[in-house]
Amino acid sequence: MEDQFKKISKMIDHSLLSPILTVPELEAGCQLALAYDVASVCIMPFYLKRCAEILEHSTVHPSTTIGFPHGGHTVVMKQREAEQAILDGCEELDMVVNLSRVLSGDWKYVENEIGAITRIAHQSGQKIKVIFENCYLTEDQKIRLCRICASLRVDWVKTSTGYGTGGVTLDDLKLMRAHSPDRVQIKAAGGIRTLDQLLEVRDLGVSRVGASATRVILDTCRTRLKLPAVSL
């Protein structure tokens, strides 16, 4: 049963990205991630170094955001963010695409930007997730982004930041899976709050979810598997 639990817990990137989160809440969030042995903690960049220290010697990866939440940083700034994040111990980078350039059809810019950050991540042996922010995009734009990310061999394509006008939808997940090769994983973010929602998106081929309701999801999982509660 513990193996079944771990398959679920290792799908979760525990999100600590609220701009009003306090330092004590950040610390508690890292400890929660360790107790439930999730996949990663996705944390604000300023706290990444401390997060990496807390997670050291565990199987929980420190991760952070690049160009968050609107993707409007210059390429140079995103590159510097990525470089600093890796110096601070980041193992997975969640980068927001430049939404204005996507909506403007400036695909060369978009491809160059994703390629630049992907190279920084991969040359350091780390992984990258590219956030589309689907709520603002047409189906054609989402498909074009899937193809660009596949050609650049990014590790995940991700639905949302959780701070746009909409979050994950089942239709988007089906579209992203259909237009991404198997080597590109899918991350669902923005609205996964229950175990049943997580299981539903897993059935569509999702390998990671971003969640702040981690404890609720995983406590439900342990109850259903008749496992003892996790104490913090």
Q: What is the DSSP string of 117-144?
A: HHHHHHHTT-EEEEE--GGG--HHHHHH
Distance (Å) of CA 112 to CA 74, 152, 159: 12, 10, 20
Which domain CATH number covers 219? 3.20.20.70
Query: pLDDT tens across 84-100, in order?
Result: 999 999 999 999 999 99
For residue 82, give its domain range: 1-225
How far apart, in whole angstroms, are the C-alpha atoms of residue 181 and residue 175? 12
Q: What is the mean pLDDT of residues 109-113?
A: 98
pLDDT at 231: 85
The pTM for the full model equals 0.95
pLDDT of residue 232: 82
Which single residue is written with the structure tokens 């604000």?
44
Q: Is residue 95 part of a domain?
A: yes
Residue 117 resides in a domain: yes
In a domain, 231, yes or no: no
Residue 146 corresponds to which tokens in the numbers above? 């899937």
Q: Is 155 an annotated catalytic residue?
A: no
Catalytic, out of 88, 94, 155, 172: 94
127: confidence class by pLDDT, cuts 50, 70, 90: very high
Residue of 13, 78, 158, 172 with catalytic role: 158
Active site (annotated) includes residue 187 = yes
pLDDT digits (tens, 9 = 90+) for 183-199: 999 999 999 999 999 99
